[in-house]
Amino acid sequence: MYHIGDFEYDESTQTLTSPEKQTIEVRDQLARLLQALLDAEGELTPTKDLEIKVWGNNTVSDATVKAEITALRKLFGESGTSFVKNVRSRGYYLNAPISKVVENEDPNTNNLAPVEQSKNKSIFTKGRAAFMLAVFTMLATIAISTTNGNQPEDVSTLTPSSQVKIPKIKNLTFVEGQELSPSLSPNGDYLAFTYTKKPNVSLQVTVKELTGNKSVTFDHYFAAGPRWDSYGKYVYYTTYEDESCTIVRREHFGNLVFSEPEDIASCGTQRSVLAPAVDSRDEWIYFNYKSSTKSPFVIKRKHLVSGMEQQITLSTDSSYGDYSLALSPDSKMLAFLSSDANSVHRLRIMEMDTGNIKELRQFNKAIVNVTWDQESENVFFIDKQIVKGINVDSEQSYDVYQLPQKGRSITHIGNDSFLVSLGGFYTGNLAEWDIGTEFNMKTVHSSPFNESDTSGIPDTDNYIFISDRSGENQVWHLTENGVFQVSDFKNQELITDIDVAPSGDALLLLADGTLYTRKLSQDMPIYKAHAMSSIVKNPIWSCDSDDIIYMSVKINGTWHLAKFDLSNESVVTLAAGVTAINSDCKSSKYYVTRDGVKNIFAININNGNVFNEPLVDDVSFSDRKEWSVYNDVLYYVYDGVVYSQPFHTKEVRKLSSTKDNVTQIELNNGRLLFIVKTLDDSHISELSP
């Protein structure tokens, strides 16, 4: 049974009931047509796909298809024309609220079956110990008009049909390392892009001559996000040095000869990889601005002649903000992405003459960037291995190209052609070190995939970790018998904060900001969602109970330490200003970080009293996976290097080298677990029909 606007359609009886309760029998061919459009869930269905689904292998004319569309519209009476829409030369879609009635559905329980159930059963029942961020996660109160944006669109579930085109691919860069954020000069002779050769080396801007294969890299401590102006005279990009973000430009004199950098505008105090944009008349430059670690990204613009500067979007302090902007070629519209505190990402369009903002889509996953076509009619983005487009007027999305591998940054260069950065960012390996022995990171698992966020099962050699090896980020269990997927989350991209309880029988995690728990001794993995009225981060298990979780929650704009009791789903706040908590269960001690204070503090977990004495010197962390405490020694990771600092001497000791590139650490029964990242190669390619 479907609800289509105020109509009801029963596919089992092929009957359509009007708002006036009149029942219409739908003939077979028309029912197949309606079902094909319903299955598309409001997305565009290409005409060729409709022909196959409705008429099979029979050849039909365009007139026949149009005649059936007309008949379908008549079923909906006066609503027919608005319900059944077409995009010229592409296909058809349903432009009405659509919902399918499903019985016996429990929204609070997510049944997640393991891939290898027969093998996992013995693992999950053996004893009580049965189980186990990022460069471009960077990711307005100006008369916001919201359309088709009430429910997040999970673009990852849009399975490409056989009709999705496979583009011709021409590689434009060939060097080892990461090449991102491509920008082609208007004459097509020069390619500017962001480049880094290895982890922990600052990003740089490189310009390559496509005809002669020569290149030049600009000399900066950090530089990213290059963009040519519409005349090919200047390259604009973002730099960062001495805790200052600056938009600069260099004039191009030809033959890869550039002027010295000229400061154009301040983009705040935080490092940014986000590219600016210049209007078609080279009068205004648009850029992202972030004033502090606590403030969100906003969008500003500056007049290149008068120097007048304006902030054109506003974001709440609890959000990541507005990022990844793209100005339409006619300079009449600005597309940008926004991310709120609940990990909902929005694609918005601002009309530059009125300041009105229209929301095109919501996503449950981060989109890296958007780009316009030359006609200023469509915007494009990459969802994993599909280039997708959205028509700004009709707000309908469609598939453009199937990519051969993951794609990151994308730039439209005309005539259905794009520049795309192909390849992943990192692969991640799991390593460990037994505290008390000479420091040596022992690799316990390596793979070509991006493994992240690990937690060990006490008294075993088993681990739980997050990996994208199945194409989506999921939870995996590493045992002596192999690696097994033990979750099947749908519509979620950001899975973080995995933690196994000291008992070894309970697991928690955050999936797009929602807290999930499960008992590991159960044969079938059942993850229970826990609804919270506040934003949650950095949850951990109590040392003493599988029913108690400590976590930071945001209340009225301030982080608080809270105690969550699973037995009755109650939340009690313990202390204000606490951003993260970690435990040393061997010593039955807990430690916290405080908002705006660079240090670690002890806390009495029974009464929430945070002791004022700082335990170490001048350290600052935003995530609990950056530090752990064991036997009154702080272990932490900074710029890919592991350090230790005893509380009693405060003497800092460097344990690992820069080349190790450690991104996370986790304490587990006298062992430190590490996520070690290895840079994955990516390159700039041209896609064309």
* Mean pLDDT of the region 438-466: 85
Predicted pLDDT of residue 135: 39
Of 234, 674, 222, 651, residue with least CA distance to 445 = 674
Residue carrying structure tokens 């530090």: 627
Most confident of the ranges 78-87, 160-169, 376-385: 376-385
Confidence of residue 381 (pLDDT cuts 50, 70, 90): very high
Across the strands, what pairs with 553? 536, 560
Predicted pLDDT of residue 247: 97
DSSP for 46-95 reads EHHHHHHHHHTT----HHHHHHHHHHHHHHTGGGHHHHEEEETTTEEEE-
Mode of pairing for the β-strands spanning 84-87 and 662-668: unpaired
Whether the pLDDT of residue 103 is over 70: the answer is no
Whether the pLDDT of residue 126 is over 70: the answer is no
Amino acid at residue number 423: G
Whether the pLDDT of residue 143 is over 60: the answer is no
Confidence of residue 584 (pLDDT cuts 50, 70, 90): very high
Whether the pLDDT of residue 63 is over 80: the answer is no
Q: Which of 281-285, 435-439, 486-490, 492-496 has the lowest mean pLDDT?
A: 492-496
Whether the pLDDT of residue 154 is over 50: the answer is no
How many other CB atoms are there within 10 angstroms of residue 270's CB atom? 18
User: Could you tell me the residue ranges of all domains in the chain?
Assistant: 2-100, 144-424
Predicted pLDDT of residue 77: 84
Most confident of the ranges 296-300, 366-370, 439-443: 296-300
How many other CB atoms are there within 10 angstroms of residue 52's CB atom? 15
pLDDT single digits (tens) 390-432 = 999 999 999 999 998 888 899 999 888 999 998 766 677 888 9
Q: Give dist(CA 659, CA 65) in Å, integer.
A: 61
- Burial of 443 from C-beta contacts in 10 A (0-12 / 13-18 / 19+): exposed
pLDDT single digits (tens) 569-578 = 999 999 999 9
Predicted pLDDT of residue 523: 67
- SS3 for 40? coil
Of 64, 79, 1, residue with least CA distance to 33 = 64
Predicted pLDDT of residue 125: 28
Q: How far is CA 119 from the centre of its chain?
A: 32
For residues 288 and 323, the answer to whether their CB atoms sit within 8 Å is yes
Of 671, 582, 586, 665, residue with least CA distance to 631 = 586
Which token pair is 348? 């918005």
Q: Give dist(CA 508, CA 501) in Å, integer.
A: 8
Q: How far is CA 595 from the centre of its chain?
A: 25
Residues 6+ apart with CB under 8 A from 543: 502, 583, 585, 588, 590
Phi and psi angles of residue 134, each rounded to the nearest 5 degrees, phi first: 180, 155
Torsional sign, CA 292, 293, 298, 301: positive
Confidence of residue 177 (pLDDT cuts 50, 70, 90): confident
Cα 611 to Cα 608, 625, 644: the distances in Å are 10, 22, 21
Mean pLDDT for all residues in the chain? 83
Q: Give dist(CA 642, CA 662) in Å, integer.
A: 7
Q: Which carries the bigger pLDDT value, residue 491 or residue 325?
A: 325
Q: Which helix (H) or strand (E) holds 157?
A: none
* Mean pLDDT of the region 351-355: 91
144-424, CATH topology level = Neuraminidase (2.120.10)
Q: Give dist(CA 286, CA 336) in Å, integer.
A: 11
Q: Give dist(CA 355, CA 594) in Å, integer.
A: 39
Predicted pLDDT of residue 404: 84
DSSP-derived letter for residue 658 is G
pLDDT single digits (tens) 242-256 = 889 999 999 999 999
Whether the pLDDT of residue 138 is over 80: the answer is no
For residues 559 and 577, the answer to whether their CB atoms sit within 8 Å is yes
Lateral strand order in the sheet of 378-383: 371-372, 378-383, 386-391, 397-402
DSSP-derived letter for residue 660 is G
For residues 18 and 27, the answer to whether their CB atoms sit within 8 Å is no
pLDDT single digits (tens) 200-234 = 557 899 999 998 879 999 999 899 999 999 999 99
Q: How far is CA 142 from the centre of its chain?
A: 25
For residues 397 and 409, the answer to whether their CB atoms sit within 8 Å is no
For residues 186 and 234, the answer to whether their CB atoms sit within 8 Å is no
What is the CB-side half-sphere exposure of residue 403 using CA atoms within 13 A?
Answer: 26
Torsional sign, CA 478, 484, 487, 490: positive
DSSP for 476-492 reads EEEETTEEEE-----S-
For residues 477 and 123, the answer to whether their CB atoms sit within 8 Å is yes
CA angle 166, 171, 172 (to 5 degrees): 135
The stretches of 253-398 forming alpha helices (DSSP H) are none
Q: Give dist(CA 392, CA 287) in Å, integer.
A: 22
Q: Give dist(CA 3, CA 10) in Å, integer.
A: 9
Residue carrying structure tokens 């294969």: 213
Whether the pLDDT of residue 646 is over 70: the answer is yes
CATH code of the region 2-100: 1.10.10.10
pLDDT single digits (tens) 651-668 = 999 998 877 788 889 888
Of 384, 428, 427, 387, residue with least CA distance to 406 = 384
Residues 6+ apart with CB under 8 A from 457: 129, 130, 131, 132, 463, 464, 500, 504, 520
* Mean pLDDT of the region 309-323: 82
Q: Give dist(CA 137, CA 292) in Å, integer.
A: 17
Q: Give dist(CA 50, CA 69) in Å, integer.
A: 11
Which token pair is 107? 């929204």
Predicted pLDDT of residue 560: 94
